């Protein structure tokens, strides 16, 4: 392609802002679609800022809009919460060019499946993100570290723009890989999230604090063990040792407050139904019980109820 890749990022939470900056640094022409007028104004006036814990500050000029133009984007990244994905999908489809790529960035299971149903598997991809961030204002995120982003489609498909997207992320400074079997990595991250997110949300601690408690680690190990059994029974071939993946992610994001803890602290709905809830639903269909996943699921649902009502 002899022009910059045109990318729309739907969702102006921490992940959406972070992707927008990386892709803009990687040479893409990026537009952010936000929900609130004040946020659009803040981004258009001051740009998007990424603060690094060591003190560095990056600034990128990115256009934010409430309504993106139709049919113009080569790639649309949907960076909403999983439960907002269905509502964001019609806009993603309208904004994408007819043969464009649409990428789901959500944690857990369910969104890529829904995307494939709506636009077909050829144009549907997922990005599994092992980087962490926290939004500190409408136009500023604090980067909290991480290890990589893995991109791909199901059943060894390879949309022509997937490689260009990964190249742009690499130019923007991330370790980005395109894989043949994205489901293996979606499950890898699902298992990492199933342990880190609810346990940090219940304890109210940053990810790294899990390493300070043998009881917290025991609970995480139990959640992971149950999830691995489900994955094996569902025929998923995990790409690496899930407990090692969990430890690696905890260490790389030790100062981060997990997205589920951030949701609980902001008294928002969490993604528990798409993470431990999704595992429990699959296990129930296979007549398996997941006691550790069920207890953290119930506690997070209880927290949601007492804090948001
Ligand atoms: O959901 C999150 O918070 C993130 O996926 C991760 C990588 C677990 C870091 O906190």
- Check residue 2 and give its pLDDT: 86
Probe residue for ligand 1, chosen from 256, 262, 271, 276 as the CB with the greatest number of ligand atoms within 8 Å? 256
Give the residue whose CA is nearest to atom 8 of ligand 1: 193
What parts of the chain have a pLDDT lower than 50? none
Q: Does the CB atom of residue 293 touch ligand 1 within 6 A?
A: no
**Residue 274 carries which DSSP code?**
G
Q: Does the CB atom of residue 294 touch ligand 1 within 6 A?
A: no
Distance CA 215, CA 202 (A): 13
Distance spanning both ends of the chain, measured CA to CA: 51
CA of 193 to the centre of ligand 1 (A): 6
Please report the atom of ligand 1 found closest to the CA of residue 192. 8
Q: Does the CB atom of residue 200 touch ligand 1 within 6 A?
A: no
- Convert the pLDDT of each residue in 20-39 to its tens digit: 999 999 999 999 999 999 99
- Check residue 309 and give its pLDDT: 77
- Check residue 286 and give its pLDDT: 97
Q: Does the CB atom of residue 140 touch ligand 1 within 6 A?
A: no
Distance CA 308, CA 302 (A): 10
Q: Does the CB atom of residue 133 touch ligand 1 within 6 A?
A: no
Q: Left (φ > 0), alpha (ψ -120 to 50) or beta: where does 127 sit?
A: beta
CA of 159 to the centre of ligand 1 (A): 27
Please report the atom of ligand 1 found closest to the CA of residue 207. 10
Global pTM value: 0.95
- Convert the pLDDT of each residue in 57-83 to its tens digit: 999 999 999 999 999 999 999 999 999
Structural domains in the chain? 6-180 (3.40.50.720), 184-307 (1.10.1040.10)
Give the residue whose CA is nearest to atom 3 of ligand 1: 258
- Check residue 33 and give its pLDDT: 98
The residues, ordered by sequence, that sit 6+ positions from 241 with a Cβ below 8 Å of its Cβ are none
């Amino acid at each position: 392609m002899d022009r910059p890749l045109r990318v729309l990022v739907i969702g102006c939470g921490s992940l959406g802002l972070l992707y927008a900056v990386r892709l803009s640094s990687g040479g893409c022409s990026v537009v952010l679609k936000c929900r609130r007028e004040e946020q659009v104004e803040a981004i258009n006036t001051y740009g998007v800022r990424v603060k690094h814990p060591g003190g560095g500050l990056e600034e990128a000029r990115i256009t934010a809009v409430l309504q993106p133009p139709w049919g113009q984007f080569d790639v649309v990244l949907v960076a909403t919460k999983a439960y907002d994905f269905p509502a964001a999908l019609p806009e993603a489809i309208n904004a994408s060019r007819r043969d464009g790529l649409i990428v789901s960035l959500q944690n857990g299971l369910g969104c890529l499946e829904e995307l494939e149903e709506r636009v077909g598997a050829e144009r549907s991809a997922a990005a599994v993100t092992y980087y962490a961030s926290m939004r500190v204002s409408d136009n500023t995120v604090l980067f909290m570290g991480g290890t990589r982003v893995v991109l791909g489609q199901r059943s060894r498909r390879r949309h022509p723009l997937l490689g260009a997207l990964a190249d742009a992320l690499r130019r923007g400074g991330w370790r980005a890989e395109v894989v043949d079997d994205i489901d293996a990595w979606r499950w890898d991250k699902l298992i990492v999230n199933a342990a880190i997110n609810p346990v940090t949300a219940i304890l109210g601690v940053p990810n790294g604090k899990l390493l300070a408690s043998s009881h917290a680690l025991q609970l995480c190990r139990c959640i992971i063990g149950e999830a691995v059994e489900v994955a094996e029974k569902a025929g998923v071939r995990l790409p690496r040792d899930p407990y090692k993946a969990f430890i690696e992610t905890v260490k790389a994001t030790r100062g981060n407050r997990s997205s589920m803890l951030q949701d609980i602290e902001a008294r928002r709905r969490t993604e528990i139904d798409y993470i431990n809830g999704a595992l429990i639903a699959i296990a129930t269909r296979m007549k398996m019980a997941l006691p550790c996943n069920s207890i953290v699921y119930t506690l997070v649902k209880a927290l949601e109820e007492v804090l948001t009502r």
